[in-house]
Structure 1
Amino acid sequence: MRTQSSRPPILTESPSIAIELPFDAPATLACGAWLKNTVCLISGRTAYVSPLLGDLDSADACQAYTDTITRLIATVGTRPECIAHDLHPDFYSTQFAHYYANQHNLPVIAVQHHHAHIGALCAEHGITQAVIGIALDGVGLGTDHTPWGGELLYSAGATFERIGHLQPLAMPGGDRAAREPWRMAAAALHHLGRVDEIMRRFPDQSAAGTVTTMLQQKLHCPSTSSMGRLFDAAAGLLNIAPVQAHEAQAAIKLQNLASEYGHLSAPLSQGHQIHKDNILDFTPLISWLSNQHDTRHAAAVFHATLAAGLAEWAVLAARQHQLSHIALGGGCFHNKLLSQQLVNLLTRQGLKVLSAERLLPDDSAISLGQAWIAAHHMKTFNKHARTY
């Protein structure tokens, strides 16, 4: 259950961003996600992405959201022929999508969060062929109803396949673990078989004993493949951000420390493993990190090892599927240090990297990805409909 926020919605009167598409698409309204929300309307060969609305966590934000959709439809002068939304049923954007579709008798298409991240990149770059996507963020509901966030995807227009993911880690307390990185560090210690260290490492956390019991008994500890939570675990183990005052604070501190190190570090030798079921496992890196005291050096090695593991993962997938494009989407790619190291490694292998340019890599691009994927669905449907 998401908590209500007292922050006002982020509103702006700046014009929509127009993304030119490589084909004429059915008129599609995409409703975005929950955090950093935008909406998108496709008209002909142009996708119009609204200004950033912010998080849909208050009545005022939701009212601004519905007003923006009304304004966008009127400004563009196109009535939607289909509606797209995130898989998560509790998002206001999802509920609005179903309401609007019912009111106007329109088809509604659910789009998986990370597929949308990769779809946004394909739309922005006009890439209609299949790509390998690396989607890294805090959380997005997966098709198996678990929280995803470190995904390797084969993405081809309307369809995708989850061909790999990060080694899952428990989230003791669910969403609360995203606000308190020490909990993710505790989960990492439990994963390493060192649960007895939790209370000793976090004596200032009154819930340390409770979290230890939760992990041992698997109580309210959903499993996640999230890269964002892996960053939190690392920050918690280095004791640089046991509790976050704002979103991504721990990850930003890690990036800053790595940048302060002064020079690029080599990745940790054997710091990652790729299991036969294509799970990318950074357990060796986390084990090493848990014993480090030089936080700058540790943060630099952490970034270098992540980049090396992700690059190997993507290269193997590209060769297996005989593809040349790698799309990098999700909020973790705000991290310029990780992004640049990964891009350098991939381009050295002769791969073409798709990164966010006109839009940001985070959830503000989700609506564009939803619209792109839904438009492909509708094109396929219309083509088959004409056959009979």
Structure 2
Amino acid sequence: MHELVVTPLGERRLVLRQGSSKALQLPKARFEELRTSGSSAVPQWLADAVQARWGMDVTGRPVDDVLLLREAGPYAFSRATWELNLGCDYDCVMCYLGEKRFEGLDMDGKRKLLAVMRDAGVIWLQMTGGEPLIDPDFPKAYRIAYELGMQLEILSNGSRLHKSHILNLLRTYPPTKLTLSVYGATAETYDAVTRNRGAFHRFSRGLRMAIDAGLTLDLSLIIVRGNAHEADDMRAWASSLGLPFREYANISPTIHGGAETLPSQSPEYLTNRAPFTGCPAGVTFFHADPFGRASICKVGRDPNIDLIAEGVEGLVRLGGIAESLMLRTGGCSGCKLSGTCRVCRPMAKVFQEAKAPLENYCQHGSR
């Protein structure tokens, strides 16, 4: 299998090593040289650059054994997220997925969706759920995405990391990043928040095994009413492991429009987002649900495009969908303070449909 990926990214040409956040940038002439190299030896200029960047020795090896050369997609999409399923082995009260149904494409459908993403030009793919590691197709889907030359990030609760077949897969084909959610610093709290007995033990074991395996890890500290008393301990745990972490305390309604998640918020930990000035959703980024339906993001799920039925060509409509969803209409129309609003229009719409109190999503609600 290839060890490096050479890919266009707009006007740039990059050399990537999967599992690494580092990259090399090539002049277009060098890129074209590699495209026509075939089975000839890796040019010395590239061997020297790879050695300096990653400490890899590819001198004298055939180009087509070392490099996977990717073609540019027809649009500007370079990033995507993919929910393999919406099922989960946890039952967290604050989960935005609500019903958490375990359903979606079969393996043939997953294979076709990944091919569409490759042809669309997706370089960075975030695999999520639900809980992606519990999907029986995850190992095969992950390896296919890897073989297609995508840089992979996994969002997981870490409950299956202690399984040897999962850990061996990720050790052999390392993700660029494995982001794990943390729900407490003790078994009593963690298991109560996830409503899953033994969850803390499984997570702690898998976390330690992933660290020992040398995987690139990032922690998301989920702070809610049920674990806010352990927030400092959660931070101390992450710091003692030497891992980067971020905190999330702002809870959203479910994707089905339910407000039942909102009481789980811990008021003292809610944070103010920066003013919303736009994002790449639907322009250079898209989201795919378990059925292969592409939307601008996981919040703005409708309208969407059936990538299995329409293929790459369907994505041409996504920019127009993004423009229509980002307009401040509905409950926000006429707001004279929208220029400093901290919530994007699709997120505001979710809160409004859930009939959530204004203070849950609008910093102007008390004015």
Higher strand proportion, which one? 1
Give the structure with the larger helix fraction.
1
TM-score by length of 2: 0.27
Q: Which has the higher contact order (CA 8 A, sep 6+)?
A: 1
